[in-house]
Structure 1
Amino acid sequence: MTSGLIDVHAHHLPDFYVQQATAAGHDHPDGMAAWPAWSVRDHLDLMDRSGIETAMLSLSSPGVHFGDDKAARLLARRVNTYTAVVARDHPGRFGNFASLPLPDVDGALEEIAFALDELGADGVALLTHTHGVYLGDARLAPVFAELDRRGAVVFLHPTSPVCWKQSALGRPRPMVEYIFDTARTVTDLVMAGVLTRHPDLRIIVPHCGGAIPVLADRINEFMQLFVPAQETPPRDAVQQLRTLYYDIAGTAFPRQAPALLQLADPARVLFGSDYCWTPAPLAETHIAAIDAAEPPAEGVTWRSLTTANAQRLFRRAAARRTIWRKNPTPS
């Protein structure tokens, strides 16, 4: 293993978070049988076995907002501070994508400032929607304007769609619903013009883009039909989608990653394990498939490609985190 992987799609589950989410009714999150176990030690063990140098920790679904804005703000602050301490106590091994209490816009703006300026977070994590507010919604415009102003890294993660009771057909939502909710919110970002208005956003789309690679040309065709032609510059959906970053968490091989490369620039492909929601043995199987796959280009491996891409993407955040470590806020 010549390149230490940088895992942009890695999840943690602090005990206090699981307790609050369970109390809010998420005892079978997104239709799964139970919450997985997680600890810093177990996560480091997986990383060491698999040649992962750094894991960027984030919360997965269902996020921090369970219906009450004040409670969501408090939980986001507690999660983000906890994660910053984990990163501080294990230099170079963990990073931090901060959770935001959306759809509470004022609370989200406050948490962006605290997480990036006070905690040295590497970026923020956004669910594909929160209580039905998808990411192209005009109500979220101040959030994207602030993230764009900061040139922030934004990690997207799917959650159950609002129609899951009808569409999931009684099966765990991560299997299929996550893939299509990713496509739904990315399409919303494109059609609503969020990406063209905010060119300094650096957005990571999970799971090889979900269904986006096979829908890209269809989305582009509909955009030409329904977006006013007089808009300047004209919106090209495929061009916009190529500005995004994509992780290869999940079942990337043998079919998803090759399909992704029909859309995405190889310089925008990143590694993801999806641990701990993907159990360690299965995560290791996925990593073995990455190592065994045909190289993405001559002279590079999937490890070297994704690691170099991540190093470029997180250069600013790494410098900010170095400054923060000299005078950390949380104790």
Structure 2
Amino acid sequence: MSAPVGRPGAPVVDFHGHLAVPAAEAIVAGTPGLAAELAAEQRAHSPASLAVNRAQLERLRPRLTDVSARLADLDAMGVDAQVVGPMPMHHYWADPATAARLARTVNEAVAAHCAAAPARLHGLGTVPLQHPDLAVTLLAEAVGELGLHGISVSTTVHGRELADPAHDPVWRAAEGTGAVVFVHPWGCSLGERLATHYLGNTVGQPVETAVALSHLIFTGVLDRFPGLRLVAAHGGGYLPTYIGRSDHAWRVRADARGCAEPPSAYLRRMWFDALVYTPRALRHLVAEVGADRVVLGTDHPFDMGVGDPLARLDAAGLSPADRAAVAGGTALDLLLKGHPR
């Protein structure tokens, strides 16, 4: 990796970029599963929000698919390297044959996109968590054959929690290979209640992440797989902000004690991106989880992302060591120490 654009020192790494894969979407076009997924999306958003989303996707298409456009954006942000994952539409309703085809198409596209600028772009793929045995096979292909650093997953799997024991084989395989598991919500299970004024994203997605991570903590998944390298988008949602309530429940209620340690202890076993928008929120996140557990995140190139990650990092007023960790040091540890190649 080269030095940061316009800055001396270690590389600046954005851990949260997205790639659109039209070939994958063509596989599910016209299917009943996609129709049901789109119907749920329509119920969860107002007509105005749906119109804005459609226009945004059309406008951003080059930046979601073209390597040169992505690199130009990174240069403008002062970012040296980006972790690129698929848009988080995993289609967990798909049958095994369709799911395998989808995952391989996405993973090959991510690998090819990153191979066009290997010093700067580092890929995450997808696996069909609804079919855990197949997911284990495809995870091995993604990491071992395509050279991806791990996978992106949503916060639920067609109504099933990430913490469901059915997924244990996938977490075991990810732990064994050192694969990163990037938890990124898509949609909101609260549906129509948050359909107005884009609340399904602004409020719903942080809720989804907090709920998914809480399940993973309270059910003991992170006790069973202590080496699992989970990275949570959007600063982990609301969980780091109100983790004290989780600790209190763990202490005073036996029915809440499904994990070996207080829930806050598990925040320092996960990683979180810094996409929390305000200097105060970023300082709080670092205080709760440690700078060695925070990576930059831009959500590139969407409108809920940010184009000035370094300015926002500087505004937080962290110590030089903590700033360096968030800017790229923590991400480099994740990318380089766990990668098999």
TM-score computed with the length of structure 2 as normaliser = 0.83
1:271 aligned to which of 293, 296, 316: 296
C-alpha distance in 2, partners of 1:220/1:182? 18
Which residue number in structure 1 is paired with residue 94 of structure 2?
Answer: 67
Which residue number in structure 2 is paired with residue 240 of structure 1?
Answer: 266
Q: Residue 264 of structure 1: CA displacement?
A: 0.8
Taking only the aligned residue pairs, the percentage that are identical comes to: 24
Contact kept in structure 2, 1:12 and 1:276, CA below 8 Å: no
C-alpha distance in 1, partners of 2:29/2:306? 25
Q: Residue 178 of structure 1: CA displacement?
A: 0.6
Which residue number in structure 1 is paired with residue 333 of structure 2?
Answer: 312
Contact kept in structure 1, 2:179 and 2:339, CA below 8 Å: no
Change (3 A) 1:241 1:304: closer
Which residue number in structure 2 is paired with residue 143 of structure 1?
Answer: 170
1:99 aligned to which of 122, 126, 138: 126
Q: Structure 1 residue 209 and structure 2 residue 226: aligned?
A: no
Paired amino acid for 1:306: A
1:284 aligned to which of 285, 307, 314: 307
Contact kept in structure 1, 2:279 and 2:313, CA below 8 Å: no
Q: Residue 225 of structure 1: CA displacement?
A: 3.7
Which residue number in structure 2 is paired with residue 11 of structure 1?
Answer: 18
Contact kept in structure 2, 1:190 and 1:237, CA below 8 Å: yes
Change (3 A) 1:192 1:162: same
Change (3 A) 1:118 1:262: same
In the TM superposition, what are the counterparts of 1:1-331 in structure 2 within 5 Å?
1-2=7-8, 3-20=10-27, 23=30, 24-25=34-35, 31=45, 32=50, 33-34=53-54, 35=57, 36-37=60-61, 38=64, 39-169=66-196, 171=198, 173-227=200-254, 234-249=260-275, 251-278=276-303, 283-291=306-314, 293-297=315-319, 299-300=320-321, 302=323, 305-318=326-339, 320=341
Offset from partner CA, 1:251-301 (integer Å, 9 cap, x none): 43233212212311111110111012237xx6324543234x14311x347
Q: Residue 227 of structure 1: CA displacement?
A: 4.5
Change (3 A) 1:115 1:47: same
Contact kept in structure 2, 1:58 and 1:96, CA below 8 Å: yes
Q: Residue 170 of structure 1: CA displacement?
A: 6.1
The secondary structure found in structure 1 opposite 2:112 is helix
Unaligned ranges ≥5, structure 1: 321-331
Unaligned ranges ≥5, structure 2: 1-6
C-alpha distance in 2, partners of 1:112/1:267? 26
Offset from partner CA, 1:167-207 (integer Å, 9 cap, x none): 44463522111100000000000011011111111111111
Contact kept in structure 2, 1:11 and 1:59, CA below 8 Å: yes
Let me know the Cα RMSD of the aligned residues: 2.6
Change (3 A) 1:59 1:229: closer
Change (3 A) 1:230 1:191: closer
Change (3 A) 1:19 1:75: same
Change (3 A) 1:247 1:22: farther
Number of aligned residues = 314
Contact kept in structure 2, 1:105 and 1:140, CA below 8 Å: yes
TM-score computed with the length of structure 1 as normaliser = 0.86
Offset from partner CA, 1:67-86 (integer Å, 9 cap, x none): 33321221111110111122
Change (3 A) 1:66 1:44: farther
Q: Residue 15 of structure 1: CA displacement?
A: 2.3
Q: Residue 224 of structure 1: CA displacement?
A: 2.8
Q: Residue 18 of structure 1: CA displacement?
A: 4.3
